[in-house]
Amino acid sequence: MSTFDLVVKNGTILTVDNTLSKKRWFAVKDGMIAAIGDRDDFAGDAKEVLDLHGDTIMPGFVDAHVHATLAGMKHYGIDLLGINTVSGVLDAVREFCAKDPSDKVVYGFNMTMAKDMDDKRAPSRAELDAVTGDHPAIILNWTIHGGILNGKAMEYLQATAPKTACLVDENGYFNEDDPIAHILNLFSDEDFENFFMRVSEDCASMGITTIHALDGFWVKDDRDTDILLRVLHKLPIEIRPYTQTFDVEKIRNYGLKQIGGCLPVDGSPPQLTAAFSEPYHMAPHTRGFLHYTDRQLYEMVYNASKAGMQVIYHAIGDRAIDQLIYIYQQVDREIGIRDLRHRIEHFSYPSVRAQEMAAEMNIVAVCQPTLANFLDGPERNIIEFQLPKEKAIWQENFKIRMESGVTVANGSDAPAASLNTLDALNACVNMHNPERRISLDDAMKLCTINAAYAGHQEDRLGSLEVGKQADFLVIDQDPYSLPSGSDLSKLVIKATYKKGKQIFSRK
């Protein structure tokens, strides 16, 4: 009988352990790493040998912030990215609906905001009705918060949720999340299972072996979470579900130890709704919005902490982060929260004091390097649009965050940004503005061990060490061997393994 199930050898193994050591081989037993070595001296026997022929291995990526339902759903909908005319949107919808004569719900996404369309407007309900046949249809803006319903979708909403129907105007336009939750609820259980399978397969092909799925809220009664919990064991990757609800009792009944997600303490910068303490630099009439009262946040954080749950919320501007972090502090004084590792998603522009408090209270910041690099890009400079230049450099600055002692983890925010972790790795080291760049060592941690830490999973996941799960990916080159400035998104992922079993191989 072989001692090991698998040995991986003849390559560079980037362990991302405490000293970021490189190894030459490791051996797997029952899905776990059982032995590891520095030199080409593996002498045991194994049922299976993975000869790397000089390729590089690193720990499977962990993505701490994915909207799994929506990320999977995009394969079954109409991607309207980059279409800037009403006729272009209608053509795409017509083509999609013509292929399917049924009355199944149709979902479009990534639509350009009305003000940015060449026509300065979105399609109307009547125009949609002319191309959608018997399908109820919902077309979402790229921000996800808002879009258009066609007549069939509107009829359904009026019949099932008349109060929510009032949020939609006579042209089918809406700017709230509630209509979305009702219409997406038209998808069948089987559809939702397919969404989770598809996003898991996408992850495997990108070397992502674990995600934190922030779902619920966009589907009525968080029905997607119910289904996700049922199919978790069938999926090729590990998913840690976070449910976007204030209902602590419901999470207790699920048997989960984590609650929340992108529950928005404030809005988002491109919509001028992220809450800053000063007015927007280029839009001095506003400083954004807070969505919850202190009392609402306090009650949820207190009750969830008392139940031993990790709490996570979306907060971007300094005013929103302050609101949340003082609530965290109050609950910390009352019952202690440090071991729970509460999180703040985005944590884009904290006050100096909030950054110190996060470090003190062991609050994890889950940040979006890919999105930050996009916003900071030479053509866009959305970050400087919000704040004067000298202040803007503080925003999305993972280097400053890490130096202050805050644990920073990567979360893509897919489908709002690319799910591909190589894009995040590349953004971290090659960010448009050099003052935002971090070292490759730190970038590797953000995408592996720190993201595992953000989900209380670092004892099993996030690095390649004896006693941890054999979750890893095979890449064609060692990123440390490339000249600085190389585009790390061009690395080729050849295969992905979960618990020592191959879950993806590039043909």
Residues found near Zn ion in the complex (CB under 5 A): 262, 413
Long-range (24+ apart) CB contacts under 8 A made by 326-332 are 327/294, 327/297, 327/298, 327/301, 328/301, 328/357, 328/361, 328/363, 329/357, 329/361, 330/298, 331/298, 331/301, 331/302, 331/305, 332/361
Residues 6+ apart with CB under 8 A from 299: none
Taking the complex as a whole, the smallest distance from the CB of residue 268 to Zn ion amounts, in Å, to 10
The residue among 70 and 92 lying less far from Zn ion, judged by its C-beta, is 70
The residue among 251 and 262 lying less far from Zn ion, judged by its C-beta, is 262
Taking the complex as a whole, the smallest distance from the CB of residue 259 to Zn ion amounts, in Å, to 15
Cβ 68 vs Cβ 215: under 8 Å? yes
Taking the complex as a whole, the smallest distance from the CB of residue 245 to Zn ion amounts, in Å, to 15
The residue among 204 and 262 lying less far from Zn ion, judged by its C-beta, is 262
Taking the complex as a whole, the smallest distance from the CB of residue 131 to Zn ion amounts, in Å, to 31
Distance CA 87, CA 117 (A): 11
Cβ 329 vs Cβ 360: under 8 Å? no
* Most distant CA pair in the chain, distance: 74
Q: Where are any strands of DSSP class E within 129-271? A: 137-141, 147-149, 173-174, 208-215, 238-243, 258-264
Taking the complex as a whole, the smallest distance from the CB of residue 178 to Zn ion amounts, in Å, to 18
Nearest to 270, CA basis, from 381, 397, 413, 404? 381
Nearest to 429, CA basis, from 476, 483, 355? 483
Distance CA 230, CA 232 (A): 6
Taking the complex as a whole, the smallest distance from the CB of residue 53 to Zn ion amounts, in Å, to 39
Taking the complex as a whole, the smallest distance from the CB of residue 380 to Zn ion amounts, in Å, to 19
Taking the complex as a whole, the smallest distance from the CB of residue 65 to Zn ion amounts, in Å, to 6
Distance CA 488, CA 420 (A): 11
The residue among 262 and 427 lying less far from Zn ion, judged by its C-beta, is 262
The residue among 86 and 262 lying less far from Zn ion, judged by its C-beta, is 262
Cβ 372 vs Cβ 418: under 8 Å? no
The residue among 196 and 217 lying less far from Zn ion, judged by its C-beta, is 217
Q: How far is CA 68 from the centre of its chain?
A: 8
Distance CA 436, CA 418 (A): 19
Residue nearest to Zn ion (CB): 262
The residue among 132 and 373 lying less far from Zn ion, judged by its C-beta, is 373
Taking the complex as a whole, the smallest distance from the CB of residue 142 to Zn ion amounts, in Å, to 13
Taking the complex as a whole, the smallest distance from the CB of residue 313 to Zn ion amounts, in Å, to 11
**How many other CB atoms sit within 10 Å of the CB of residue 307?**
13
Taking the complex as a whole, the smallest distance from the CB of residue 368 to Zn ion amounts, in Å, to 8
The residue among 153 and 262 lying less far from Zn ion, judged by its C-beta, is 262
**How many other CB atoms sit within 10 Å of the CB of residue 450?**
25
| Helix ranges restricted to H, 336-481 | 352-361, 369-375, 382-386, 389-392, 398-403, 421-430, 440-447, 449-453
The residue among 16 and 262 lying less far from Zn ion, judged by its C-beta, is 262
The residue among 340 and 417 lying less far from Zn ion, judged by its C-beta, is 417
Nearest to 116, CA basis, from 83, 149, 78? 83
Q: Is 163 helix (H, G, I), strand (E, B) or coil?
A: helix
The residue among 66 and 138 lying less far from Zn ion, judged by its C-beta, is 66
User: Tokens for 98?
Assistant: 């013509």
Distance CA 246, CA 123 (A): 35
